[in-house]
Amino acid sequence: MDMYRILKKECLNPTVTLMDIEAPLIAKKAKPGQFIILRVDDEGERIPLTIAGTDKETGAVTIIFQIVGATTELLNHKEEGESITDFVGPLGRPTETEGLKKVAVVGGGVGCAIALPIARALHEQGTEVHSIVGFRTKDLVILEKEFEACSSKMVMMTDDGSYGTKGLVTNALEELINAGNEYDEVIAIGPMIMMKFVCLLTKKYNVKTVISMNPIMVDGTGMCGGCRLIVGGETKFACVDGPDFDGHLVDFDSAMSRSIIYKPFEVADHEKVCNLFKKEEA
């Protein structure tokens, strides 16, 4: 039975971890915007995580995850050299980047891990990339150097002003639009509420906006049907129809109320796992 070895583990901030998993076939095929589904062990639940990068030479697939639920807690207790049971992908449709000349990539929190490979792909094809990344506070900042490397303009925002500029990503985006930047497209990835407000702003300026509904999954709900959403009045499934959608057509309010449904279960499961590890360490 194939096991997927952890080649590298790195703590990006107190709640976000990066891992390189040995999965050469996925590394060969994966494109920005696609995701994998993993199980930590035979007993584990299946959770989807976006592919944050690949290395065809070493066969490594990079995942970046936030420790929010039972499964991400279990995964975070795995160390380099150990293996996980299942790692399936690439799944979902890749992000469409063809023909774009100038794009604003907006990332919020751990959503930046999903936005980065898209920003890189755009940069590599010669697109002018303006990146706006936002975090609650300085301690939570991730992937700053990586964004700088693939962006001709990069704006760092924090809610509390402890790093970069104080304010929301929408403030920075509106400033850039008002400064005369004409974007072919805005790509926004982050918490649902952030994507909603980016879309309200870009609608005002009539700028096409693509959002990724991976956050439904990254939040650790990972339950079938959890990715159902309404786009342009029709029911879609983020895992097969997406994860990218036209942000101006997404019903964010229904998606947000759906994603909250699973939170109490996830919190309870997470506490069980944490208590298990505490007992082992005692």
Average predicted confidence (pLDDT) for the chain: 86
Share of the chain above pLDDT 70, in %: 84
Question: Residue 230 to residues 45, 47, 112, 245, 261: CA-CA distances in angstroms?
Answer: 26, 22, 24, 10, 16
- In this model, does residue 62 exceed pLDDT 70? yes
Residue 229, beta-bridge partner list: 236
The predicted-structure confidence for 214-246, as pLDDT tens digits, reads as follows: 655 443 334 455 667 788 888 777 767 777 888
Question: Residue 131 to residues 125, 145, 173, 246, 273: CA-CA distances in angstroms?
Answer: 16, 12, 9, 19, 37
Q: Higher model confidence: residue 128 or residue 37?
A: 128
User: What would the mean pLDDT of 265-274 be, rounded to a whole number?
Assistant: 52
Domain with CATH 3.40.50.80 in the chain: 102-261
- In this model, does residue 271 exceed pLDDT 70? no
- pLDDT at residue number 267: 52
On whether the 102-261 domain is CATH 3.40.50.80, my answer is yes
The predicted-structure confidence for 67-81, as pLDDT tens digits, reads as follows: 888 888 999 999 999
Considering the domain delimited by 4-91, tell me its CATH architecture. Beta Barrel (2.40)
Domain with CATH 2.40.30.10 in the chain: 4-91
User: What would the mean pLDDT of 126-136 be, rounded to a whole number?
Assistant: 97
- pLDDT at residue number 254: 81
DSSP letters, 151-162, are: -SEEEEEETTSS
Ramachandran region, residue 61 (left: φ > 0; alpha: ψ -120 to 50; beta: rest) = beta
Question: Residue 37 to residues 15, 45, 89: CA-CA distances in angstroms?
Answer: 20, 10, 7
- pLDDT at residue number 253: 85
